[in-house]
Structure 1
Amino acid sequence: MTPSIPFATPDHWSNLLWALSAPDIAPEFPLPWLPPQRRERLHQFFSAPDICSRLRPELELELQNLKSRRLGIYFEQLWAFAFSHHPDYTLLARNLPIRRGEKTLGELDFVVRHLPDDTVEHWEVAVKFYLQVADYWVGPGLRDRLDIKLAHMQDHQLPMIQQPESRSQLHRAGLIPERQWAVMPGRLFASLDETNPSPRYWWTTARSFQRQFADRQWQWLQLPKQTWLAPCSGTNPLAPQPEEHLTQATAYYPRCVAGLQGATEVSRGFMVPIDWLAQARQHILLG
């Protein structure tokens, strides 16, 4: 039986820096990805020691009071904080609903003003983690797939501002976006098996995990969702949790874990239930 593995707790400031700088998960897909120089300017500002010491307590307080447990909401909150404090931006709207009568057609994640060129921008942001199943990338909870998410952003989320209802509503609010950007960092986890024995990011069953990593003298941490972003380090505090054997827990749903060598994360993956692959294949067949 896999022994109990302690839980890491999130480093919110490291997660902010990761959110601003991590590469997009599918940069070859034709979306208006945020240019690298814009990412670098955001990351550089918040990396400054004086900015960190001044703003870190405020960010931690905001996120401690965040009621939602959804990772997407947490990720959006990091970006909202960045837009609210970076000197290049003014946050004009967040999760702006677009309605046709009483029906909501969708929401715009962010509308911001980019002050260096005085331009209103529409941003769609997401953070995604997918496990490889043949030629597909499937979310650990089986409710999401990379190709479907990219198509939805391309065909629905970004074109939303071109809808007559959107243009009318934005015009009345004085918010006419002149540019759009997409941001979608994350990680892709390959299957861990005999043909692919040591990927940096992997998924496998608990039994295979024991077999593959039995000889590694690493410290292992379980990762709650808010610790899925930035790499873990020896400074990540451990959360007190009741005794829980990972093999038993993984029988019901996937668990994310990270292996540390010294203070550095060297491996990360998902342990999944024994029937996860069969369920994933069924979801792919059903589209």
Structure 2
Amino acid sequence: MNLIELALTTYTESKAERSEEADYHAEQARTEFLGHARSSAGTNLCKDAADLDWQYVTEGLPDQMEEARALLVPGRREYLRYRIDNGPGTVAFELVQPCTACRNDRVSPVTGLFHLGQLLTEDDGPHPATGGDQEPGPLAAIEQASAHAARVARLARHLIAEHPDAGLAVQHVSLFGHEHGDGRAEIHFNAGGLDALRRVAAALGAEVTVRVSGGSPAFVLEHGSATGTVDDIDVELRAYSQMSDDEAAAWRAQQDQPADGGEGE
């Protein structure tokens, strides 16, 4: 190995080691931060709050800010958040209540379990009118579809931020508006794999179904899907994962077995 090759090899290996070390320390920091969030939830509320599915979030936040979130109940949008602003060094434990009517978040500090119950029963005041008894205008159907589009976009950003490791990507969106104010919205996501799909589906309270296909001798695929509803928006999740060679062989052997009372295919 000449000097150039030696230098390049040393640089490449050193860079890889530094990257692995940085990833290790970042994961340690995330784990520690989630531990602080659970501890705060347990101290301010109860053990059940500490046991919620807390997720580390950085997307959409300033560089100096860190946040952890946990949905109160799968399928709803209210969530607890533990946030640290490393600039001024402030720590906050709050309830966030997204509003689909005005598309604003109501953020309230939480001081205890009684206070959380109080916040969940309070009305945060009037929202912008949604039509009421007024006659629909000539663009009512378009306005309805536009409102659905804003809600769907907000939901998509929310789910992606809540599950940063799930590889969620919007596959397609369907919107329907009507002159009388009715409407419908659907959003379809692809997830990064079956495990990711199951995590997101659990947060939505949706059941996962899996089917297996062996379209090629080289591999066997597991296709997962789940459907749920969040704030009247239909959400569909899809993902697939490739079976290992041993799993695929076992599945194919099972398919070759004759059915009860019949001949094998």
> Do the structures match in fold with TM over 0.5?
no
| TM score, norm. by length of structure 1 | 0.23
- TM-score with structure 2 setting the length: 0.24
Larger C-alpha radius of gyration, 1 or 2? 2
Asked which structure has the greater RCO (Cα within 8 Å, sep 6+), the reply is: 1
